[in-house]
Structure 1
Amino acid sequence: MSVTPARTGARPARWPTGVGRLVAGAALLTAVALLPWLSGTDPALTVLRALSADQDPTPAQLAAVREQLGLDEGPFSHLVHWLGGLPRGDAGTSWVSGEPVLPQVASAFAVSLTLMLGALAVTVAVAALVSARTLYLGSRRRLHRVRAGTGAAVLAALPKFLLASLLATVCGVWLDWFPSSGWEGPQSMVLPALALGVPSGAVIGGLLDQALPAAFNEPWARTWCAYGFPSGLTARNALRRTLAGVLPQLLPTVVALVGGAVAVEKIFNIPGLGRLALDAAMAQDLPPLQTATLFLVLLGVTAGRLLQALRHALLGPALRDGALATLHQPALPRRRSPRRVAALCAAALLTLVVAGLLRDPLHVDTAARLMPPSAAHPLGTDSLGRDLLARLGHGALRTAGVALAVTAVSAAAGLLVGLTARVGAGLTEVASTLPAVLAGLLTTAVTGPSVWGAACAVCLVAWTPYAAQAAALLEEERASGHLLASVSFGAGPRYLLRHHLLPAVLPALLRNALLRLPTTVLVLASLGFLGLGEQPPTPEWGRLLSENQPYGELAPWTVLAPAGALVLLSVLAVSATPSGRSGTRRSGAAS
């Protein structure tokens, strides 16, 4: 049954995406320019300490720095002056080193871009491996054997800085396969690319693995199978069909591989853009920080445009013309519920938490420093002799509660931005370029270091993957035949939102949020490690990883315990996710 496409209500208003990009970019650069003044400390004092490490400068020294840098003119004067020099290729000079900023930032960007390409190749390879089994079984109509992707959950829960330390120690120091420090050539890229790409590929592959069964159960796929079409042809078209919904998730991933790889760059001593931006932000050195932020914004906008063009090429004229002609809604076959896996993970976590709550997490015993697991200390002790089981148990509720709150707020914000269509697309492209560390510095400058300040910082950047996913799924749904039919019968915006748009988006958004839950924990941990989040001695899983990471080689149990807890939490979240429609419900996009 064919339906003549009805334009009214089928597509959102064509607002220019450039407006969202311009507004978001201007707001981000302005916030960066205000950082020294938002912090409540004298910018001259911070710069002078970065120059000479003098903790007690004289008023005359501070006055000289203010006069030299023109700090009395205020932040907006500096921002206008910096913007005015960009058309001439002049990004100013560093307040700390006194060297021109543009060559320094361009060199760091080239290193980060090279590392990003390597990490992106690893991301694609890991995503392909994670989804390969579902692709094979689906092409042969064996969807009843598809199970929840616990492997993807385990890989996604691996902390990047912990994986980087492990690779540097084993493959770099012990086996001497690749350089473990510095940036000397292509060989120096292998280990950091693996550390960045494996967890990112697991997230992308997990989303693809969850969406493929719905594509294989659409009418065109069942028809092709009934007529005896080659299984490889069906698999290729199902992959093309599903990639359109997952592809926008690569935008935050691509930018995070450049600006958010600070910990990995520090471990491997790589002079990248993320490390440069962090050092400049800590020293409140505005010219390099503003220039690095501008490079990240341009990268995000460019990557967003390329991914959008690739997505439209995959979808073809079906999305552009709204010419989808079927009203049939395919039902996703019910997966075998991995109740055993979920039950085992829940039991293990509950046992750890209850046992830990019975112990004192703050008791320090210097005579028992870095003790291995024993009857007295089942998970061992840390560098201060504190019981790791106690710290793990007492930190469980705080870790899970804050991470769940951040994930819920980010997913809701992403859904709202995704509903704004083209204006939201520009905002998403720019906001995804903001590293969580820089967001943490901006938030801490206003609120001070605290766990909820770090949570607000993560919320500022964590909504972008959900917005990209929601916008992609909503665009496909608005072009579908059943929605066009509802519009032709007089359905209003509220009816369409309640009965078509939200049911198409919410299940996939929920699975995405649960798959990213351990990542949220680790981002909060990185902010706490830098002094921007949870403060010691409060026990928190991510902070346990961060503060024990230097002892990973000497006492591996100090990092294995919190890492294992994160893996259990991730597998439990994915295993407990209810199966449902993927949100990509069109039937003709791949034909």
Structure 2
Amino acid sequence: MTLLRGTLTRALVLLTVLTAIGLLPWLADRDPALTVLRARYPGREATDSALDAIRTELGLDAGPLAILRDWLLGLTRGDFGASWTSGAPVADTVLPALGTSLTVMAAALAVTFAVTTAACAPALHRAAQGRPVGTGGVAVASFAALPDFLIATLGVAVFATWTGLLPAYGFNGPANLVLPALAMGLPGGGVLARLGRDAIGRIAAEDWVRQWRTAGYPKARIARGLLRRALPPVLPQFAIIAVSITGAAVAVETIFAVPGLGRAALAAADAQDLPVLQACMALLIAFGFTAGLLARLAARALDGPATAIPAAPPATGGRRRHLAWITVGAAPLLLAVAYGLIRSGDIATGSRLDAPSAAAWLGTDELGRDVLARLGQGALWTAGAAFLACVLAYLLALGLGFTPRLAHPLAEAFNSFPVAIAGMIVVVVLGRGQFGAVLAVVAVSWPPLAAHAAELVAQARTAGHLEARLALGAGPWWILRRHTLPLVTGPLAAHAGLRLPGMALGIASLGFLGLGAEADAPEWGASLARSLPYLERAPLAALAPAAAMIALTLAVMAAVSLPKRRPRLRRPPVPVPVPVPAERYPQARDQATKAQLT
């Protein structure tokens, strides 16, 4: 029943999103007729009669319901319409791109599986021997948090530009698959590795594992039992990984010039070629939805309904190493922000793409501006937008938390949509801008917060002392203000704060794709995209924002996984014998007298 309800909810949300995609020609910020006129007839004047003729030709004058009906009916027949810019059938563009994207995604899933296996195999071995299992440390957590476009940029810089070991662009053979697959698969591998090790560590503490070891079962048999118990809660997370790979296709295929759906969708969004954009987004979303459904069915077949993964017991010790990672990540960022504020009015040196010097410590960019000063100012742009997105997602999740029957299925269903697709929809409807990027990040960031809020509200409503409050005459508003909200707002705010760096990286990814801040803004993603063509001549201009995002990731991941302080074991006090007064106890008096005589 739970699986059926979850599937129906996902299908309903999928239909809602497809409805929004089908209405894009009617919701678009720019007039589609003007876009088609400029694409097909560059020298023609945009008169009212010319625009009306194009609207009639495209069927845009029939109203939103007719537009949606025609698109959905064409989608069921496999007819995606014709391109607005070229007039060619959309299927001729998207179907070859679909094959390319599926090839790259399959290679990325293979990388994800390899990383997960390499991280979880030692954990299974340790658990079968009865030894403690850790979470994998900061390295595994950093893999999970680094964005795909950043890994792709570093791959281009190291393996293509500097060493020449791998090709950077094109799709001509297996060698072209390596860097895109690594960029798309490593973050998912980090996530599954962390979740898998947590699940193995939790299950290794169950009684049956100790009983099997005591009974002399082979370690391989115990490892197989641990794996079977750990897979059901981890498999549903595979759906989220598939969605992240779907969203990563937009950035990675653009960076490596792979002719797939992601690159075609971004090009269509830039050209406002909405039929191509609609077809690409529908196919990408269908891939994520199908992967999620298959993962849920596999988890159900293994061991009943999948449950959430409780966090493994927190590790102790190693605080100095984690604090060192926090310092390494946070200190340079704070210094860059201070430097950027000091040089806010004096960042133009007049010399383009210079090497580091006393006037510009990290050199200059393509317009002759101080890279370090722009980096500090970009931190404020990125962090400010992420803070606004965090506040909006927090308020939305707090409101949905009081309706758990709606919050849980919606949160699970909306996990099937990556931030890149949300960004393209927002750009078409509202146009480019930092606020549009904030809305796109909020649209994909509220689900885990809403699910957590629903759990906190359920715990607050089942508290034992609540019945006593009601018996004493406490009203519902008093219970809400003085009991429920204090138990929900604090933990939910802490959870939202932990997701703030991820939102900052989401803002940067949209800026990198041209779906967020303006191209000339100091925002980190936009700065990275603007400096990437000059990687060989001025590498620091591109690597500085990349290093800033890595430092932010390391600092936050080290802070999140900071082990608890070991409790100090105090030595018990040595008991001091208390002399017994001889006058109070006759026996003691007699013993004392005998001792004196001897």
Band of TM-score, shorter chain: 0.7 to 0.9
Contact 2:128 2:219 in 1 (8 A): yes
Structure 1 pair 464/217, CA: closer, same or farther in 2 (3 Å)? Answer: same
Q: What's 2:425 paired with?
A: 442
Structure 1 pair 266/531, CA: closer, same or farther in 2 (3 Å)? Answer: closer
Q: What's 2:342 paired with?
A: 358
- 5+ residue gaps, structure 1, are 1-11, 321-328, 479-485, 487-493, 582-591
Structure 1 position 331, deviation (Å): 5.5
Match 1:252 to one of 234, 240, 251: 240
Contact 1:154 1:570 in 2 (8 A): yes
Structure 1 position 44, deviation (Å): 0.3
- Verify: 1:204 aligned to 2:192, yes or no: yes
Name the SS of the counterpart of 1:194 in structure 2.
Answer: helix
The structure whose Rg is larger is: 2
Structure 1 position 549, deviation (Å): 2.0
- Verify: 1:99 aligned to 2:88, yes or no: yes
Structure 1 position 119, deviation (Å): 0.4
Match 2:359 to one of 371, 376, 382: 376
Name the SS of the counterpart of 2:383 in structure 1.
Answer: helix
Match 1:270 to one of 255, 258, 268: 258
Match 1:452 to one of 393, 412, 435: 435
Amino acid at match of 2:118: L
Name the SS of the counterpart of 1:381 in structure 2.
Answer: coil
Residue-by-residue CA offset, 1:240-276 (whole Å, 9 max, x unaligned): 4444333333223213323442222122222211222
Amino acid at match of 2:36: V
Contact 1:14 1:422 in 2 (8 A): no
Structure 1 position 355, deviation (Å): 3.5
Structure 1 position 421, deviation (Å): 8.3
Q: What's 1:285 paired with?
A: 273
Structure 1 position 117, deviation (Å): 0.8
Aligned-partner Cα distance in 2 for 1:564–1:15: 45
Q: What's 2:72 paired with?
A: 83
Name the SS of the counterpart of 2:560 in structure 1.
Answer: coil
Higher relative contact order (CA 8 A, sep 6+): 1
- Verify: 1:386 aligned to 2:369, yes or no: yes
- The within-5 A match list for 1:129-278 is 129-131=118-120, 134-143=123-132, 146=134, 149-168=137-156, 171-172=159-160, 178-225=166-213, 229-278=217-266
Structure 1 position 289, deviation (Å): 2.9
Aligned-partner Cα distance in 1 for 2:252–2:306: 40
Structure 1 position 306, deviation (Å): 0.8
Structure 1 position 567, deviation (Å): 1.8
Match 1:112 to one of 101, 104, 113: 101
Aligned-partner Cα distance in 1 for 2:125–2:534: 42
Structure 1 pair 519/237, CA: closer, same or farther in 2 (3 Å)? Answer: farther
Aligned-partner Cα distance in 2 for 1:458–1:378: 33
Name the SS of the counterpart of 1:49 in structure 2.
Answer: helix
Residue-by-residue CA offset, 1:522-551 (whole Å, 9 max, x unaligned): 331232245442336543333332222222
Contact 1:361 1:394 in 2 (8 A): no
Match 1:127 to one of 116, 139, 145: 116
Q: What's 1:37 paired with?
A: 26
Aligned-partner Cα distance in 1 for 2:275–2:520: 36
Structure 1 position 561, deviation (Å): 2.1
Structure 1 pair 49/153, CA: closer, same or farther in 2 (3 Å)? Answer: farther
Q: 525-534 or 113-122, which moves further after superposition?
A: 525-534
Structure 1 position 308, deviation (Å): 0.5
Amino acid at match of 2:344: D
Structure 1 pair 293/356, CA: closer, same or farther in 2 (3 Å)? Answer: closer
Q: What's 2:554 paired with?
A: 571
Q: 96-105 or 450-459, which moves further after superposition?
A: 96-105
Residue-by-residue CA offset, 1:424-447 (whole Å, 9 max, x unaligned): 676557644544334224334555
Q: TM-score, normalised by structure 1?
A: 0.76
Aligned-partner Cα distance in 1 for 2:398–2:316: 26
Q: TM-score, normalised by structure 2?
A: 0.76
Structure 1 pair 530/51, CA: closer, same or farther in 2 (3 Å)? Answer: farther
Q: 389-398 or 566-575, which moves further after superposition?
A: 389-398
Structure 1 pair 305/157, CA: closer, same or farther in 2 (3 Å)? Answer: closer
Structure 1 position 116, deviation (Å): 0.7
Q: Percent identity?
A: 42
Contact 2:353 2:364 in 1 (8 A): yes
Aligned-partner Cα distance in 2 for 1:319–1:246: 8
Match 2:533 to one of 546, 550, 553: 550
Aligned-partner Cα distance in 1 for 2:453–2:301: 19
Aligned-partner Cα distance in 2 for 1:304–1:85: 25
- The within-5 A match list for 1:340-489 is 340-360=324-344, 363-367=347-351, 369-406=352-389, 410=393, 427=410, 431-445=414-428, 447-463=430-446
Name the SS of the counterpart of 1:386 in structure 2.
Answer: coil
- 5+ residue gaps, structure 2, are 465-478, 565-598
Structure 1 position 124, deviation (Å): 1.8
Structure 1 position 286, deviation (Å): 3.4
Name the SS of the counterpart of 1:554 in structure 2.
Answer: coil
- Verify: 1:312 aligned to 2:296, yes or no: no
Q: What's 1:6 paired with?
A: none
Contact 1:259 1:433 in 2 (8 A): no
Structure 1 pair 180/446, CA: closer, same or farther in 2 (3 Å)? Answer: closer
Aligned-partner Cα distance in 2 for 1:561–1:27: 40
The count of aligned residue pairs is 539
Q: What's 1:24 paired with?
A: 13
Structure 1 position 422, deviation (Å): 8.7
Structure 1 pair 577/64, CA: closer, same or farther in 2 (3 Å)? Answer: same
Aligned-partner Cα distance in 2 for 1:297–1:521: 24
Structure 1 pair 341/226, CA: closer, same or farther in 2 (3 Å)? Answer: farther
